[in-house]
Amino acid sequence: GDSVTQMEGPVTLSEEAFLTINCTYTATGYPSLFWYVQYPGEGLQLLLKATKADDKGSNKGFEATYRKETTSFHLEKGSVQVSDSAVYFCALRSNFNKFYFGSGTKLNVKP
Amino acid sequence: DTGVSQDPRHKITKRGQNVTFRCDPISEHNRLYWYRQTLGQGPEFLTYFQNEAQLEKSRLLSDRFSAERPKGSFSTLEIQRTEQGDSAMYLCASSLETGGMNTEAFFGQGTRLTVV
């Protein structure tokens, strides 16, 4: 069945450091891939998405490229800020069905 | 549009009591999802609706859980005879399905349930 695996956290970085959060997936069909972000006490907010292989999703300085050959969708940001501290979830959706989420990666950015 | 709304935001109940949560999706969205999230975990699928039809229900969901979307707009999730293990954040999400691609879902802020 469909599933998402993402790196365990927490990830602790200093401000302006480079961020990578790894995400790999298993899916039937042709999934769309998503990154969601969750701030404390809040629901999930869509950060970026990619709907087909080789697409790059980007938003607020974050990027992720849909790599079909490696079944990956790693999240990157060149220079993190304290305000980026949150939990990040990788997700997939295929065949117009439900979403599958990874277990989340907590990011702590220190000033 | 104010996005997906959930009510209440917080609910504390005694074990054995029934609770009901409400979700109002984005107005034109025809699909509605319920997920449950426990501390340190990703959202776990419960059920989803296309308009008023419940298309899938998780096998992990016991008979104590029931969801409705009677007119294809708002939805309710009821938990009967609550147990301490039901304590979690209950998330509702909605999306507009046109059949063209796997679109994103928009989430509400969740209802945090604490069973004491």
Q: Is B34 on the interface with A (CB under 8 A)?
A: no
pLDDT for B42-64, tens place per residue?
999 999 999 999 999 998 788 99
What would the two tokens of residue A42 be? 């809040």
User: What is the per-residue pLDDT for A96?
Assistant: 78
The helix or strand, by DSSP H or E, that contains position B19, with its residue range, turns out to be strand B19-24
> What number is the average pLDDT over the span B103-112?
94
Mean pLDDT of chain B: 93
Of B6, B42, B104, the CB nearest to A101: B42
User: What is the per-residue pLDDT for B95?
Assistant: 94
Is residue B98 very low, low, confident or very high in pLDDT (cuts 50, 70, 90)?
Answer: confident
pLDDT per residue rounded down to tens, chain A (111 residues): 899 999 888 999 999 999 999 999 999 878 999 999 999 878 899 999 999 999 999 999 999 999 999 999 999 999 999 999 999 999 999 877 899 999 999 999 999
User: What is the per-residue pLDDT for B60?
Assistant: 76
Inter-chain contact A96–B106, Cβ cutoff 8 Å? no
pLDDT for B71-84, tens place per residue?
889 999 999 999 99
Q: In sequence order, what are the residues at sequence separation of 6 or more whose Cβ sits closer than 8 angstroms to the Cβ of residue A38?
A: A44, A45, A86, A87, A88, A89, A104
User: What is the per-residue pLDDT for B11?
Assistant: 98
Whether B24 shows a pLDDT value over 60: the answer reads: yes
In A1-111 the beta strands, taken as DSSP E runs, fall at 3-6, 11-14, 19-21, 23-26, 32-38, 44-50, 56-59, 62-65, 75-77, 86-93, 99-101, 105-110
Give the residue from A5, A99, A100, A105 with the most B CB atoms within 10 Å of its CB, the best one to mutate.
Answer: A99
CB A50 within 8 A of CB A73: yes
Inter-chain contact B104–A44, Cβ cutoff 8 Å? no
CB B14: neighbour CB atoms within 10 A? 8
Whether B102 shows a pLDDT value over 80: the answer reads: no
The shortest C-alpha distance from A44 to chain B (Å) reads 6
User: What is the per-residue pLDDT for B59?
Assistant: 87
Is residue B99 very low, low, confident or very high in pLDDT (cuts 50, 70, 90)?
Answer: confident
Inter-chain contact B102–A46, Cβ cutoff 8 Å? no
Strand B111-115 with B10-13, pairing: parallel
Inter-chain contact B56–A99, Cβ cutoff 8 Å? no
pLDDT for A2-22, tens place per residue?
999 998 889 999 999 999 999
| Residues of chain A in Cβ contact (below 8 Å) with chain B | 4, 31-32, 34, 36, 41-46, 49, 51, 89, 93-104
CB A87: neighbour CB atoms within 10 A? 20
Inter-chain contact A32–B106, Cβ cutoff 8 Å? no
CA–CA–CA angle A11, A90, A24 (5° rounding): 90
Residue of chain A whose alpha carbon sits nearest to that of B99: A96
Chain A residues within an 8 Å CB radius of B97: 96
Inter-chain contact A46–B4, Cβ cutoff 8 Å? no
CA–CA–CA angle A59, A52, A77 (5° rounding): 30
User: What is the per-residue pLDDT for B1?
Assistant: 56
